Every structure is written in C-alpha cells, then in structure tokens.
Amino acid sequence: MSNERSEEEWRAILSPEQFRIIRQKGTEAAHSGEYNKFNEKGVFSCAACNTPLYISDTKFDSGCGWPAFFDAIPGAVNRNEDNSHGMKRTEITCASCGGHLGHVFKGEGWKHTPADERHCVNSVSIKFSPENKE
C-alpha cells in the first residue's frame, strides 16, 4: 500500500511543493492553483498515489480561492479533526495514502449543492484526467 512509503520515498516521488502540502499538511496560496477556475469533465485523483477522489460533477465555484467539491467518491477521502492554527477544522486526506488534500467545511449555506458542505482542496494535491468521449 502507498501509505507505507518512507518520507524519503515521498520526497523522491513528489515535487518540493507537493511534499510540503501533501505530506507536511501545507496550503497553497489562494487563487494560485491550476484547478481553482477549472471546469472540464473528468476525474480528480490524488497527486501522490493516483486514487480517484472527486468527479467533476461535484466541483463548484465557491469563490474561496481553491478548488471546491460538495462530495467525494465514496470511501476515497478520510476526515480528521484538525485543531491547528487556533481553530477547529476537519482535515480531509486521501484514504489510500493519507496525503493531505485540504479541509471540509459544513453549514455555509450552499443551497445549489446536495450537501451543505465544501471540500476545499489544494490543486497541488490532485491531478485531473479528462472524461472519455467515446
């Protein structure tokens, strides 16, 4: 399983920015990620281990500065309490490799989504595969 890689192996596989965010729970600068204003159809997978995490139909423009999704692929994302930086948040990680994706926020009033929650994901933590158009 990918989660059993050492930190040295992760450093060899990931770029320095990916390592900082995915393995060290960092955050990319708001409005800087390539998937923030991205609207193609397809699947977003973990940038570290390639596990599919989100489908494009669950992505929406929240205006928060990071890619936002209202739901993950069932079983793909774990939620962990995060009390860092003086606030209580829910961290989301890849269920396969444990890589940090971002945070999920509930109760913000997203009436156009089936669930009133926003998965705020770092673009560096994901990669996109276009939908097959056969």
- Whether the pLDDT of residue 8 is over 60: the answer is yes
pLDDT of the residue at 112: 74
pLDDT band at 3 (very low <50, low <70, confident <90, very high): low
CATH class, range 2-130:
mainly beta
Q: Which residues are catalytic?
A: 120
User: Ramachandran region of residue 39, left (φ > 0), alpha (ψ -120 to 50) or beta?
Assistant: alpha
Mean pLDDT to the nearest integer, 94-121: 92
Q: What is the pLDDT of residue 1?
A: 40
Alpha helices (H) in 44-95, listed in sequence order: none
Give the distance from CA 44 to its chain's centroid. 9
Of the candidates 91, 129, 99, the residue with the CA atom closest to the CA atom of residue 5:
99
Predicted TM-score (pTM) of the model is: 0.91
**pLDDT score at 88:** 87
Over the stretch 26-76, which tens digit does the pLDDT of each residue have? 999 999 999 999 999 999 999 999 999 999 999 999 999 999 999 999 999
Domain ranges of the chain: 2-130
d(CA 30, CA 134): 36
Cα gap 31→131, rounded to integer Å: 25
Confidence of residue 129 (pLDDT cuts 50, 70, 90): very high
